[in-house]
């Protein structure tokens, strides 16, 4: 099973109205079983629904479902976290918007994490919680520190250790390497140096489920008819269960 986090800068009506850009994104997204797209800026939601429809038409034997957060942000620039997932591969079993109201440290996040929980059909790991992150560059260190509170909240709420934090941390590698240890909890990371994208997985079961050397970055920069498409992502694969290894398909 392949998982990825994408920062498609300003994923909305203007970008998706370009046919080349839209079709390119569909081809990229169709490689993965679960994808988290950051920086969704379509206030109407129309272009997102159109994208999902065209994605499902692209490869008709595979069906994607969507789960999207409310619009998040302090100013006029609001963003959403969007999950796209294959319903034959995982079931969505829970979701909630993290409440950023820690006493004495309220409003720590510019965009509060939107947490989803999946049941995985054919992987060694059956239970998977995903916490997407898109920090504000000026507040990145504070927000990364606050991720520990999110981590504890999820563990308390769902009684699980199979937690993954992924997205755009917007912090330099020196700070991330220190802070992302989540105050000494057991974790494993996959990171891109250029764009501060990272996936952090917690716990022995989660770490053992990650296919060795599957963590990779994917950086795409296309100029087409004066339209710029920036896609920064980090991805990895979870091991298939023993009875389903023959069905594993990995795209490169």
| Rounded Cα gap, residues 25 and 6, in angstroms | 10
Would you call 226 a catalytic residue per the annotation?
no
Catalytic-role residue among 79, 112, 143, 146: 79
Segments in 89-193 forming alpha helices (H): 140-158, 173-179
Which residues contact residue 69 at a Cβ distance below 8 angstroms, ignoring those fewer than 6 apart? 80, 81, 82, 97, 114
| Rounded Cα gap, residues 82 and 69, in angstroms | 7
Best CA proximity match to 238, nearest among 32, 45, 71 = 32
Task: Tell me the DSSP string of 8-33.
Answer: EEEESHHHHTSHHHHHHHHHHHTT-S
| Rounded Cα gap, residues 145 and 135, in angstroms | 11
Nearest 5°: phi and psi at 195?
-120, 10
Whether the CB-CB separation of 199 and 164 falls below 8 Å is answered with yes
Catalytic-role residue among 39, 112, 134, 143: 134
| Rounded Cα gap, residues 231 and 8, in angstroms | 5
Tokens of 1: 């099973």
Best CA proximity match to 233, nearest among 26, 23, 28 = 28
Would you call 243 a catalytic residue per the annotation?
no
Question: Which active-site residues does the annotation give?
Answer: 79, 134
């Amino acid at each position: 099973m392949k998982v990825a986090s994408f920062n498609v800068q300003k994923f909305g009506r203007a970008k998706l109205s370009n046919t080349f850009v839209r079709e390119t994104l569909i081809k990229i997204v169709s490689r993965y079983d679960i994808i988290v797209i950051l920086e969704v800026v379509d206030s109407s939601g129309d272009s997102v629904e159109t994208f999902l429809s065209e994605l499902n038409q692209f490869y008709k034997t595979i069906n994607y479902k969507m789960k999207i957060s409310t619009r998040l942000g302090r100013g006029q620039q609001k963003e959403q976290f969007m999950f796209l997932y294959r319903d034959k591969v995982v079931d969505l079993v829970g979701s909630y918007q993290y409440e950023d109201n820690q006493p004495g440290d309220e409003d720590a996040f510019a965009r509060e994490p939107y947490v989803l929980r999946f049941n995985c059909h054919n992987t060694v790991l059956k239970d998977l919680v995903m916490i997407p992150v898109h920090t504000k560059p000026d507040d990145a260190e504070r927000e990364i520190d606050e991720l520990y509170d999110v981590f504890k909240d999820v563990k308390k709420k769902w009684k699980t250790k199979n937690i993954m934090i992924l997205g755009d941390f917007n912090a330099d590698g020196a700070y991330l390497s220190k802070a992302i240890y989540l105050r000494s909890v057991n974790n494993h990371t996959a990171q891109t140096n250029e764009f501060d994208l990272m996936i952090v997985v917690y716990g022995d079961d989660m770490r053992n489920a990650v296919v060795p050397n599957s963590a990779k970055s994917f950086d795409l920069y296309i100029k087409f008819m004066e339209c710029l498409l920036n896609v920064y992502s980090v991805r990895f694969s979870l091991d298939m269960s023993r009875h389903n290894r023959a069905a594993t398909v990995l795209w490169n």
